[in-house]
Amino acid sequence: MRAVLGFSWKLGKWAGAAVVVAYIAVCTVMYVMQRSLVFPKLAGHVTAVEAGFPEAQEVALHTSDGERLVAWYVPPKSDKPLFIYFHGNGDTLNWRVGRDRKLVADGSGLLAVSYRGYEGSTGSPSEDGMHLDAAAAYAFAADHQIGPDRIVLWGQSLGTGVAVWLAVERKIKALVLESPYTSVADVAAMNYPLLPVRWLLKDQFHSDWLISKVTAPVLVFHGAKDETVPISFGQRLYNLVKAPKCFVRFPLGGHDDLDDVKIVASIRGFIARSWRGSAEPAGDGCQRASLAS
């Protein structure tokens, strides 16, 4: 009996050690491979014309650290706004052509940025690098004599973190956040509850630390059935906004399927309003606005 107990104890010890080794191995692999998960490699370069967006011209943005970015540019007409668009992590410029064409149909401008490491752009993506990409996009607008009172930043999913950062660093007319998160760290912790992702994650995109510093009006869109970034993340971020704000909920919307027509119409109405100060509430109940999708 004593020999059996001794063997069982040793077997349990070996099993425990194996579990620990396996756990460490998983953490190591996740740490090494994390950027391929956060910034997946996508299809090759597609021009605006090839994508069916002849209104746009392909331009090159040059970052302060020497990278060359592909961007699609539609100059704004007259006093129309310029939308600087930052896409999601698994997105490409040509996936939003239908909405882009609706957006520029009234003479509004668009500058859609392909991050470093994404289609046609040089470099490798990272949070710090994407901040430099955002700054290069803003500099491009300034070089084309488009003032801050005409610049609207629009971020989708991962791009909301880029847009929030730029909204803190530069003056803008408004900030649009589509399917936003509090931080990538929070979303990763939800998806990998057994891993110490908050210690391992290099690119955390803490919009929750920055959003209260944004003084421009903020418009948030989120789908109630979003399983990638649940709407609770968007609501938590929205609650931290101190500037004039509006939250639009799509009851049937997921992560990438919100109604383009309703989004464009809502944005036009939002940025056309006369905001008297950063402390002014939305005033018309838009925090409770809800759109079917």
Handedness of CA 185, 190, 191, 194 (dihedral sign): positive
Strands 68-74 and 174-178: unpaired
Catalytic site residue 157? yes
Determine the distance from the C-alpha atom of residue 117 to the mean position of all C-alpha atoms in its chain, rounded to a whole number: 16
Rounded to a whole number of angstroms, the CA Rg of the chain reads 22
Identify the bridge partners of residue 68 per DSSP, sorted by sequence position. 62
CB 173 within 8 A of CB 104: no
Q: Per the residue annotation, which of 108, 114, 121, 157 is the catalytic one?
A: 157
Catalytic site residue 36? no
Phi, psi dihedrals of residue 244, rounded to the nearest 5°: -55, 140
- Biggest CA-to-CA distance, the chain: 91
Determine the distance from the C-alpha atom of residue 213 to the mean position of all C-alpha atoms in its chain, rounded to a whole number: 18
Separation of alpha carbons 178 and 146, rounded Å: 24
Catalytic site residue 255? yes
* Whole-number Cα distances in Å, 49 to 56, 58, 134: 8, 9, 24
Separation of alpha carbons 286 and 39, rounded Å: 33
Measuring CA to CA, which residue among 53, 54, 71 is closest to residue 62? Answer: 71
Q: Per the residue annotation, which of 255, 259, 266, 293 is the catalytic one?
A: 255
Q: Per the residue annotation, which of 91, 133, 226, 259 is the catalytic one?
A: 226
CB 247 within 8 A of CB 289: yes
Separation of alpha carbons 268 and 274, rounded Å: 12
Q: Which residues are known catalytic residues? A: 157, 226, 255
